[in-house]
Structure formats: structure tokens, C-alpha cells
Structure 1
Amino acid sequence: MKQFLFVTLGLLAAFSAQSQEIAGQWFGSLTVQGVQMRLVFNITQSASGYSATLDSPDQGAKGIPVSSTTYNKPVLKLSADALQLTYTGELKGDSIIGTFRQGGFSLPMNLGRKEVEKKAVSRPQEPSKPYPYRSEDVHFENAKAGVTLAGTLTLPGEEGVFPAVILISGSGPQNRDEELMGHKPFLVLSDYLTRNGIAVLRYDDRGTAGSTGDFKTATSLDFATDVEAALSFLHSRKEINRQKIGLVGHSEGGLIAPLIAQKSGDVSYVVLLAAPGLRGDELLLMQTELIGKSSGVSDAELQKAKELNKKAFAIVTGTPQPDAAKEALAGYFKSNLQGRPAGMSEEAYVKAQVDQLTSPWLTFFLRHDPAPVLEQVRCPVLALNGEMDLQVPAGANLEAIRKALEKGGNRNVTARALPGLNHLFQECKTGSPNEYATIEQTFSPAALSAVTTWIQQQTK
């Protein structure tokens, strides 16, 4: 889903040490799926020992907890149990030479005291200033949550009243450009829409980049209140036609948009880009199998993983009480340790699985069925998927979306699978997430045109 629904290699760890001093900032970099991932470890020394946090500048993430930090000269060991990762490095001069491990992956990673520079990548669709339209940095309040959201409003001209859309990002902490894998899909989309007469509001997720709040404790329902705040903000702008405001949601954003549209008369139309139509547990099982196959995992291993996940998901969806769910999951994973990474203790592995599956976001997602919400959406809806999407498979999800909308009596529904495109709407070869970073294109021109033309038809 923008991004992966489970913890992915986008949140990786870097650790470091220096000659006689291990405390302070250490900088490292990994190349994951063709993308540079810069990492910073902030190590603190106290009377009781060492502690650390992790920053991932390229994802806008700061202060990720490191569970264990030990330094026995010259060896540094760190682990972040929630991410199922470990790092072991040896201090040599002013560097630490080490190995990063997460799940079945093992990568060399060295750390130093100097900040790592961001390597330039070719992204020919990204617009550059000066833009032929007005671009304004804005802030608006979600009073319900006590959150201030930072974003960008682009307007087609200095004068006039314009139709508008709010862009809603997919899963994981995203900035206003929905930046991932070296791409900025929302920057490209907003630029295209604004050049074609449509105002666009895009914003950093709560707790990310310039926005305040706590992302880790939020669910899709909480993110929906941020969208409501964005709607209220657009209503305060004299340049916006209040009767022609729509929502454009990608991946999880396509789950969130109907939550608002079902109850708000302020939403004139909705665009669902690679949106879930199936219940979360069913979608994740399907996604894991398809991505596993594309990565060369054997059918036997995929079947084992499916059975393990299916039973774990059933505990979450069938156990309303959080404490009871945690206890049941702990017992289940203690008796099913085949997925435990090398070097991770049984206790740490079980805790990491339980914490992830009982996190507010994932618990809600596993239990949520989009169909009853979609049945209440009355405004025009465009649902698009890439035919080669392995994260939100086009056939099953588009059909579920169409059926739910039509069951509710909505007759203004367009649902299309676009050939040759993946989850990010890039032209691709396999649809695998491993391709995302290696493809220069950020957003297919055919998809950009399809979205824009449809919105223009709704706002005539």
C-alpha cells in the first residue's frame, strides 16, 4: 500500500562508534531495493549504560526506539525488537565496520561521524521552480486531535475561484509529497492537476515532517479526522469553490476517503487510487502471497507463511479485548517460532510479533471491511488500479469496490484497471515493489490524464 502494510526495509537501523567515544551521532547509509536509505543513530551514555534512538531522514522519521544498546570495546551491538532487526559492528579508528540484519536479510553497513550526503537520482517528472501557478505553504488545525498539519496549497492562478482536491496518502508516515522509494508521487500529481485548472491541498501526515501529533498511535479513523480538518481549511479559502471539492486517496488513503465521503455533504467526488476493497486481513494474505511469489519464495514456504498469518490474524479479528488478544498471540507465536530471525531471542521475537499485530493501526486495518462504508457513499467515484499491482490486486479489489457502491445505489461509478501499471501507477515489468526505485517514471502519464480528465468532467 504506498508502501508496505508490514514493516519493510524502509525503516532500517544504523549504528556507530568512534575511537574512545561511542556517545553522539553516527551516520550510515544502506541501499535497499535500489534506494539509498540514510540513517542516524543517536547514542547516549549514562551511569547505567548506553541507550539509542534511530532517525531515518529520507522518510522523515525521528526518535525510533532502539531496544538494546551494548558496547564492549571494540564491539557495538544494537537491536530494535519492534522492527526485528539487529546490528553488530566493530570500532576501527573513526568508523564502525558492521553488519545489519532484519528478518532474512543481511547487509553490510559502516558508520561514521560525518553526515551522509543524499545521492541524486533521476526523476524526470518532478517539477522544478518557478512553477506556472501559485504555491503556498499552509498550516491548519485538527482541533479534535490537538494536531497542527503542515502542507502545500497550489492554485492555478492568482485570481479566480477553483475546484479543488485533497490528496490522502497511503500507509506509513508520509510527507506531503508521499515520498517513498526515491519518488514523490503527490508532487507530480499535484503539479499535473494544478496545471490543468484544479487546486490541490497536500499535507504531511500527523507526526511527520512539519506536522505535529503522534503517528504511531493513530488509526485510519484518526487520519480521517485530519482530512476533515483539511476540508474545513479549504472552506476558509476564498479561492476555492466549496461546491467542487473532492478527495483523492492512494492505497490506505483510498480507504480513508470513503470514511469522510459517506457522511459529509462537502465532498463532491472521490478518486480511489489502488484502494482496498477487501477486508484488511484478506488483503494482507493476498498481498503477502503475490509479493512472495514475485521475490522467488517457494510455494511451500508461502503456504507456511499464509497459515501462520491467517491464524494470527484470526486471533486479532476475533478477540476484541486487547489484553486477551496479546496473551493469545504470545502463546501462538511461542509455539510457532519458524519465522524467528537468526540472532533474535525467542522472547524478543514473540514480543515484536505481538506488538506489531496489536498496534492500533494494524488492529483496525485487519478488522476493517470497506464495503459497508462504500455502500453509504453517494457522490461520483472513480476507482483506478494498476493491472500489475501486487499490493492491492486490481481484479478482486476493484470488483469489491464496484459491488459495494452499486449495492448502496450509487450509479455514478467508474472502475478501471490500467494495463502495465503497478501499485504506484508506474509503467513496470513485474509489478514487484523491488522495481519501484529502479523505475525513473514516478506516475504514468496515462494515469495522470485519466484522473484529471475525470475530475474535470465532475467540476464543469
Structure 2
Amino acid sequence: MRGKWMFTGLLLCLALMLLPAAAGRAALLPQPDAESLKEDALQVAEDMQTGNFAAVTEKFNAEMAAALDEDTLKSGWDSAVAILGDFLETISAESYEQGAYVVVDILEHYENNGMKLHIVYDGEGKIAGMQITYADVEEYEEETQSEDGAAAYTEEEVTVTADERVPLGGTLTLPVDVEKPPVVILVHGSGSSDRDENINGNKPFADIAHGLAARGIAVLRYDKRYYVYPDCPDVGSAEMVTLREESLDDVDAAIKLMQEDARVDGSHIFVLGHSLGGCLCPAIAAEHPQLTGIISMAGSLRPLWEISYDQNQEVIAAAEAGNLTEEQQAQLAEAAEQVEADTKILREDLDNQPDDGMLLGIPARYWKSIKEYCGMNFINEVKMPVLVLQGDADFQVYPEKDYALWQEALGGRDNVVFHLYEGLNHLMMPTQGKRDITEYAVKSHVDTQVIDDIAEFIMDVVK
């Protein structure tokens, strides 16, 4: 789960950010030449690759130097690159002006993925900000052919429109030589996400769409509303969002679109939700009893604040086990105290909380919708077939709690199928053994057994 608001609450443990791009007062001196700063940034990248972090910190401005010392920079860099394998080459370096600053973005190719180094220079040519993110550097490999070498599927653009002011681009993936196949609608996790659910070049929704289409099943995936329209000025800002605006209204529109599309079997529509989308599957099923089945992939029946609380407890424990300064210990204790206080409020009656009040860094308005659409409120209403999938290496949604709760709620039914996969993470891809966002640094694919199991479930239901 990821998004505009970090669901790790007040602890920014899952971010790869070494320091946000610094704001501050405009520079009084003329900016150095952008081309020379690009050359300097390339040298910074080389210095960090070779371990010369002292040379890098010497270029920091006063604010940056106060926020990030040499040891912390080294620790952050080493953690970020540890999983990437050998450095191969620098792909590109681009510079551009951003207000009073010059920004340089460097894309580097490593053995297992790419990395983007984002460096911000102030008007005196000093480094005012630095950020590291993983990035895709190669064309994504797709399952485009059947065993005999022929095309396995075709893809066509569609538009999902819940509100005329915010139409969403989508892709309908259709199997070749299958007339009116059953169709699966993919529902995203939290936060802004494209139709592929792209994270660091990993594209689980593209994998699932192509894999199922190659097995005779159509798939609809679409860009999430706040990915395309991050502010949505005509329909309320992101701070006004609830689960209806974030996801459910667009799911309604996607279902209607597939019911009316002559290329698929509108009487056999499945919804597959990932992460938050999996959490919403019971509510979606209750609102749309005409669906043929639902599939929860790494979802939960618990309210989201409980998952956030568990994530925070794990982060706090890991931080306490490290070598913290007294100042850092104090900051951690303060953050942990705030997590406890906010979670206590969330567990109680939210009706008296103002909609714009912040809890775990998220407006109470959103948390109220989380409470309203919690899966446990609807699961007893769901009579259609259900498939529950999770990896045992998932560190964002907890198998011992969340997968077990699905089994407790639905284990006695003969139209429910469960699969817990050894060694798969939250993206249903092979784990790298990490329990933070570096888990997703290496490009991978949804495990083929997962796709086989989804296809088998669907075909068993529709036969």
C-alpha cells in the first residue's frame, strides 16, 4: 500500500528519500550555468559510487549539511544500492530550472534495475536537496505469444468514465480467437497508480492482464483517478477524497463499461483487487451482486489503520534496534506516542472527529470512509465465489493476521479458494528478503503459479 499519504503513518520509513528537495528563500546570486551543474552532478554520482561521500557533503549548502551528514549519506546510499547488483552505466543526465534552483536528474543502470539520482542546486551552486528513487531503464518483457508463436492477445484503449470531468484511460486486453471471454477488472492499491500498478519497473497489473489473456480471459485495467488528476480541482482536492472518489466510483463505471462491451461476456465479470483493492472486494461484491466472483490479492478484512499500526510497530522495533543518537531516540519516541494516540482515536467512534482533522497524517474524512467500507462489514453478504491470494513474504499486509482472517471468515464455504504462496511478496513476485521498499528495487514478474491459479478459479466458475 502506498500513496499520497504514507500508510506507515508518521514514520517515513518506507521512503527512499535522503532529503526532500529543499525549499527556502530565493538565491541572491546569479545561478551557475546548468550545463556545468550537470557535470558536477555526474561527479557527485561517481563519488557516491566510489564511496567518496566526504567530497559530496562538501558541496552541501548550510541547510543540507545540517540535515544530512557524511555517515547518514553513506548509510542511505549503501542501503539503496545494496540490492541493485553491479553498476553498469549512466543512461542519461538532464538539467532544468525549477524556480530559483537548478535540478539535475541522473538515470543509472544497475544489474537488477535502474536508479534515478535527483540533485537540487541552489543559486550559489551548492547542493540543496537530494533524492534517490528506483527507475525502469529497459523495455518490459511481456508474454506476447502463445506456444506456437502466434499472438496470444490484443490490447485496445478504452475510457472509464465515472464523472465526465475525470475520464480515465484504460486498456482492455483480449485473448486471440476467443469469442466473448469472461473478463476481470483490476482494482488498484492505495495512492496514485497507473494502469499497470508500476512500481520501480515492476508492473503486476500488466503481468496479470497479459498472463490471463494468454489463458483465454479478458482483462480491463485503467489509470487511477488521482494518478491522472492529482488535484482534481473540479471535483474536490485530494484532501477531500474518500474511498468513493479514490476507487469505488471508478470501479462502478468499469463494471458498467464491461457489461456493455460486446467483445466480452458481460454476464461473467470478475473483480480482482490488489492491496487496498483487495480490502474493498467485499464492499464491491455487496454493491454489485451480479458479479460472477471476486479475487482478493494481498488484501485484508481489517480496517486499514490496523495494518498501518502493525507497520509502524515493526518500523519502531527496527529503529530501536539500531544505533540512534539521543535526538533520534527522542524523535522516535515522539512519533511512536503520536501513532498510539491517533490509532486509539481511530479505534473509537470517528463521528465526532472533524473531517479535516489529521490522524496518522491522513484526513479523518478518509478514515471515516475506511471504516464505512471495511471488508468485515460486508463479508457475510458475499455469496459469490471468492479467491484469496497472498504471499507469505508480504511485509505490508500480514499473512499471519490478514490471510488468517479471510480463512476464519470464509473457511467453511465450498465456493471459496485460498492460496498462500511461499516466498512471494506484496506484488506476488519473488521476495528479495527485505522488509522495506527496497524489496521492490529488483525488476521481476508476478509468479506464473499465481496467474495459473487465477485462471483456474475463473474457468472453474464459468464452466
- TM over 0.5: same fold? yes
Partner residue in 2 for 1:141: 161
Q: Do structure 1's residue 260 and structure 2's residue 279 form an aligned pair?
A: no
Which shifted more, 369-378 or 188-197?
369-378
Select the residue among 357, 362, 376 that pairs with 2:381. 376
Cα 1:413/1:444, change in 2 over 3 Å? same
Aligned to 1:132: 152
Deviates most, 386-395 or 312-321 = 312-321
Whether the 8 Å CA contact 1:126–1:184 is kept in 2: the answer is: no
Give the 5 Å matches for 1:43-58: 43=98
The equivalent residue for 2:58 is none
2:242–2:366 Cα contact (<8 Å) kept: yes
Partner SS state of residue 318, structure 1: coil
- Taking the aligned partners of 1:147 and 1:122, their CA distance within structure 2 comes to 29
Aligned with 2:128: secondary structure?
A: strand
Structure 1 position 440, deviation (Å): 3.1
Q: Distance in 2 between matches of 1:444 and 1:366?
A: 32
Q: Deviations over 1:5-64 (max 9, x none)?
A: 246537884469897369x9x99999894599x9999855xxxxx8x9x9x9x9xxxxxx
Question: Larger % of strand: which?
Answer: 1
Q: What is the correspondence of 1:347-362 to structure 2 with a 5 Å cutoff?
A: 356-358=361-363, 360-362=365-367
In the alignment, does 2:408 pair up with 1:419? no
Question: Structure 1 residue 141: deviation in Å?
Answer: 1.5
Cross-structure match for 1:388: 393
TM-score of the aligned structures, taking structure 1 as reference length: 0.69
Q: Deviation at 1:99?
A: 3.3
Q: Deviations over 1:151-209 (max 9, x none)?
A: 10011126611100000010110000001122111111111011110000000011323
Match in the other structure for 2:30: 20
Contact persistence 2:151–2:176 (CA under 8 A): no
Report if aligned partners of 2:356, 2:365 keep a CA contact under 8 Å in 1. Answer: no
Say which is worse superposed, 183-192 or 426-435, in terms of deviation: 426-435
Per the alignment, residue 179 of structure 1 pairs with 198
Which residues of 2 match residues 274-293 of structure 1 at below 5 A?
Answer: 274-291=298-315, 293=317
Taking only the aligned residue pairs, the percentage that are identical comes to: 22
Change in Cα spacing, 1:195 to 1:288, as seen in structure 2 (3 Å) is same
Report the number of matched residues: 383
Question: 2-side partners of 1:263 and 1:194: how far apart?
Answer: 27
Gaps of 5+ in 2: 46-76, 85-90, 108-118
Q: Work out the CA distance in 2 between the residues paired with 1:40 and 1:401.
A: 50
Partner of 2:455: 452
Output one character per residue of 1:301-355: Cα deviation in whole Å (capped at 9) or x when no partner: 78875553122122244342343983xxxxxxxxxxxxxxxxxxxxxxxxxx668
Q: Secondary structure at the match of 2:123?
A: strand
Question: Are residues 1:323 and 2:392 paired?
Answer: no
In structure 2, relative to structure 1, the CA distance for the partners of 1:373 and 1:40 (3 Å cut) is: farther
CA contact (8 A) 1:287 1:391 kept: yes
2:137 aligned partner: 120
* More deviation, 217-226/146-155: 217-226
Shift in Å at residue 397 of structure 1? 0.7
Q: Choose from 99, 110, 119 the match for 2:129.
A: 99
Pick aligned residue for 1:434 from 437, 440, 448: 437
Question: What is the CA-CA distance between 1:121 and the residue it aligns to?
Answer: 4.8
TM-score (normalised: structure 2):
0.68
Contact persistence 1:278–1:371 (CA under 8 A): yes
Deviations 1:96-120 (A, max 9, x none): 52334xxxxxx689xxxxxxx9761
RMSD in angstroms over aligned alpha carbons? 4.6
Once residues 400 and 457 of structure 2 are traced to their aligned partners in structure 1, the CA distance between those partners, rounded to angstroms, is: 21
Work out the CA distance in 1 between the residues paired with 2:94 and 2:237. Answer: 20
2: CA distance between counterparts of 1:5 and 1:131? 40
Deviation at 1:239, TM superposition (A): 1.4
Shift of 1:394: 0.8
In structure 2, what is the equivalent of residue 9 of structure 1?
15
The residue number in structure 2 matching 1:342 is: none
CA distance in 2, matches of 1:304, 1:367: 30
Structure 1 residue 277: deviation in Å?
2.0
Q: Distance in 1 between matches of 2:94 and 2:360?
A: 23
Cα distance in 2 between the residues matched to 1:293 and 1:133: 47
AA in 2 matched with 1:186: F
Per-residue Cα deviation, 1:428-453 (whole angstroms, up to 9, x for no partner) = 14252334333332312222222222
- For the structure 1 residues 438 and 147, does the alpha-carbon distance in structure 2 shift closer, same or farther, using more than 3 Å as the test? closer
In structure 1, runs of 5+ residues without a counterpart are 45-49, 59-86, 101-106, 110-116, 327-352
